[in-house]
Structure 1
Amino acid sequence: MGGEKPKTILTDQDVAMAKAISIVMPETFHGLCTWHIRQNALRHVNHLYQTSSQFCLDFEACIDLHEEEGKFLNAWNSLLVEHNVPEDSWLHTIFPLKEKWAWAYVRKTFTAGMRSTQLSESFNADLKNDLKSDLHLVQFFTHFKRAVDGKRNNESEAEYDSKHKPPKFKTTKSRMLVQAGNVYTPRIFEEFQAEYEEYQDTCIRDLKGGLYAVTNYDNPKERIVMGNPVEQYVYCDCRKFETHGILCSHALKVLDVMNIKLIPEHYILKRWTRDARLGKKKKRCNGMVRIAQDDGGEARENVCGEEVREDRQGTTATAVDRCR
């Protein structure tokens, strides 16, 4: 990982792993897989699920819905009281770890939108399809290599599609959508385009002082957004960018109100771009990603349709007058 420690690691409730992460990577956020928490709940407090269907709704709300710590704590206490949870229940053992699984706390850190260990679980499932206990060592590595090669092949195909297939626009093209299509990988562009479509159905109220209240058509909850047109800064209390790494529909609405028609460069995470693996210095012109090359010039069109070129040393980028 380029010598850098991950921002977030998700695991099950393995005690040894938790201790190792805290020692080796103390600055990394250690979250608990919510899928495993749900499975453990079914195993340890299944009688509560059987007694009342409301318990499932209340428990799910504590995991995923409550955004504020105070509301989460009130909801948790209500769950314990209303469902007559005894003091020796498994629920009391999971509560001290709430900062690792409850959305009220997890939303404070970057997780790339992940709440479970589904990627590793998927790989484990693929291995189990090929591996058997009676295989000798050579057979084991043969099957293991087949599983790994399959994953790498899928990754290579996705990389090729990212480089060579044009983005699929679901709505009328705009400068921002074209920019996002050129910069983001297909999957991230699809997520961004969904937010872009949603922002067109939002309503906004100017609260003055750089504050705005934004609501979506299908969700009456108001989101408070701060915006600064000079610094091209925007912050939404839904924390979509802080947790997922892409701007939310509320932030996009405020950018539009501030007459900012392109995604500000500081809101484009390198990890989500088509050129994330290159690890080379990027240069942009009106949202166009430029990759500095050491062995020759390179040209590509930017979002305004003009050509951008770098010199053969890869140290400067020039464009026709309309892009300057």
Structure 2
Amino acid sequence: MGGKHPVTILTDQCKDMTKAIKEVFTDYTTHLWCKRHVLHYAPEELGPLYRSNGPFRRDFHYVINQMLTVDEFERAWEHLLETYSLQDNEFMKRTYAKRKMWAKPWAKDTFCARMASTQRSESANSILKKVVPRNSSMNRFVQQYNKLLFLQAREEQKAEHQRKQVQGINSRDYAIRKHAISVYMKNCFELFSEEVDKATEYVVMIINGVKRYLKLT
């Protein structure tokens, strides 16, 4: 990567990879586990309790996806265990023990580009396998790979054109949003704009010496 260490690396729970990342990237990179891999065996380990549309599954994913602070997560997780009598469940014990590697409160200040899993890289591998036959010759591989690059470049040009259209529309917007459209593509910019709009609904006030976010009514 041009001599620059990645900010974040998402992997599965491979012990060898974890060891290698610590040795090679030292303090420059944050290593997180793919949330999808961590929770992959939840249906098998928890059985009928994890059934689709069941109350536990709803509550479980609410704790995982909505708790933003360490204190919130800890209290919500403890309440979840008590509610469903899972204090002695081995899967819940293992998952909680490694929470700092995958849970949102410990990763919220780490840049992940809204990714919490390795699904995007796996998707790229899947696309390449569809374009390049399994037993293709080297010549065939190069031809098909160049075709894939061409198609991706065309999509990027289309996205860049859409971004410029949005940039013209938002020429009198907030300074931070104007900067965002200069560096983000259209879809990413729209996600960023949603967060900016949400932020305008709150104010920060100091109550008893503690900063708190209060929603405007």
Q: Does 1:19 align with 2:37?
A: no
Q: In the alignment, what sits opposite 1:55?
A: 56
Distance 1:131 1:52, change over 3 A: same
Aligned equivalents of 1:52 and 1:194: distance in 2?
28
Unaligned runs of 5+ in 1: 218-324
Aligned equivalents of 1:39 and 1:216: distance in 2?
39
Aligned equivalents of 1:205 and 1:116: distance in 2?
32
Q: Does 1:10 align with 2:10?
A: yes
Where do 1:93-242 residues align within 5 Å?
Answer: 93-159=94-160, 162=163, 165=165, 167=167, 169=169, 173-174=172-173, 176=175, 179-180=178-179, 183-187=182-186, 188-200=188-200, 202=201, 204=203, 206-207=205-206, 213-215=213-215
Tell whether the 8 Å contact from 2:42 to 2:50 is kept in structure 1 after alignment: no
Deviations 1:24-44 (A, max 9, x none): 112211111223333332343
Aligned equivalents of 2:202 and 2:77: distance in 1?
33
SS where residue 31 of structure 1 aligns? strand
Distance 1:148 1:205, change over 3 A: closer
Distance 1:180 1:39, change over 3 A: same
Distance 1:131 1:26, change over 3 A: same
Worse overlay, 91-100 or 129-138: 129-138
Greater helix proportion: 2
Shift of 1:49: 0.7
Deviations 1:262-300 (A, max 9, x none): xxxxxxxxxxxxxxxxxxxxxxxxxxxxxxxxxxxxxxx
AA partner of residue 23 (structure 2): I
SS where residue 4 of structure 1 aligns? coil
Shift of 1:67: 2.4
Distance 1:145 1:93, change over 3 A: farther
Aligned equivalents of 2:21 and 2:131: distance in 1?
30
Dislocated runs of 4+, deviation >6 Å:
none
Distance 1:184 1:70, change over 3 A: same
- What is the TM-score with the length of structure 2 in the denominator? 0.75
Aligned length: 214
Q: In the alignment, what sits opposite 1:253?
A: none
Identity %: 26
- What is the TM-score with the length of structure 1 in the denominator? 0.53
SS where residue 215 of structure 2 aligns? strand
Deviations 1:192-216 (A, max 9, x none): 433444455x25475499x674415
Aligned equivalents of 1:161 and 1:194: distance in 2?
18
Shift of 1:175: 5.7
Aligned equivalents of 1:22 and 1:93: distance in 2?
21
Q: Larger C-alpha radius of gyration, 1 or 2?
A: 1
Unaligned runs of 5+ in 2: none
Aligned equivalents of 2:48 and 2:202: distance in 1?
44
Higher RCO structure (Cα 8 Å, ≥6 apart) = 2
